[in-house]
């Protein structure tokens, strides 16, 4: 599968138990976590499977329920990548592109068999228009994660330079 499409029916499994996504979405109250999970699909990805591709449309974001993903950026040499991050349980990928409506800035590949909770851009837009408090909490979390990633990247760059 390349890139992952949350609409692929053969990849969708039953929703995780509510305690699984309540813990996964611990930045939300339990009922809010359940509500958000209700708008998501659970997707299984195999080792080395591409979850999203750099430059592809940001149609969805995903929370990692289990497994590990690698975030890679295309290097100057053809066919080579720079590893930017490894994302494990509780992490998210694709959030910037799905919120901003642009293309993904990196390629994400499963390092392990992984289970993802996938939220489409369409469902995010629906949340924003119908459940503003929940949407605000989700968007705030996305900003917090982005800020943390930028701070970490800045610290690494200052150490290198």
Q: Name residues of the chain where pLDDT drops below 50.
A: 1-3, 6-19
Distances (CA, A) of 149 to 6, 76, 85, 86, 132: 25, 22, 9, 12, 25
**Tens digit of each residue's pLDDT (9 = 90 or more) over 52-90:** 999 999 999 999 999 999 999 988 898 888 999 999 999
**For residue 32, what pLDDT is reported?**
93
Q: What is the pTM of this model?
A: 0.82
Distance, in Å, from the CA atom of 75 to the CA atom of 44, rounded to the nearest integer, reads: 28
Q: Is 69 helix (H, G, I), strand (E, B) or coil?
A: strand
**For residue 143, what pLDDT is reported?**
93
**For residue 4, what pLDDT is reported?**
57
Distances (CA, A) of 78 to 85, 109, 115, 135: 20, 18, 30, 39
Whether the upstream peptide bond of residue 3 has omega within 30° of 0, thus cis, is yes
Distance, in Å, from the CA atom of 145 to the CA atom of 93, rounded to the nearest integer, reads: 10
**For residue 12, what pLDDT is reported?**
42
**For residue 65, what pLDDT is reported?**
94
**For residue 158, what pLDDT is reported?**
81
Domains and CATH numbers, the chain: 9-153 (2.60.120.10)
Tokens of residue 81, six digits: 């990548």
**For residue 15, what pLDDT is reported?**
43
């Amino acid at each position: 599968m390349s890139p992952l499409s949350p609409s692929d029916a053969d990849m969708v499994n039953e929703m995780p138990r509510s305690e699984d996504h309540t813990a996964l979405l611990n930045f939300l109250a339990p009922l809010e976590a359940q509500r958000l999970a209700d708008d998501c699909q659970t997707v299984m990805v195999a080792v080395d499977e591409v979850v999203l591709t750099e430059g592809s449309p940001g149609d969805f974001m995903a929370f990692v329920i289990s497994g590990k993903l690698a975030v890679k950026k295309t290097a100057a040499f053809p066919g080579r990548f720079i590893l930017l991050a490894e994302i494990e349980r509780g992490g998210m990928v694709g959030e910037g592109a799905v919120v901003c409506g642009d293309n993904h800035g990196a390629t994400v590949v499963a390092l392990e068999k992984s289970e993802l909770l996938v939220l489409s851009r369409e469902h995010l837009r629906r949340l924003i228009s119908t459940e503003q408090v929940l949407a605000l909490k989700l968007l705030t979390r996305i900003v917090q994660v982005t800020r943390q990633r930028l701070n970490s990247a800045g610290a690494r760059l200052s150490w290198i330079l």
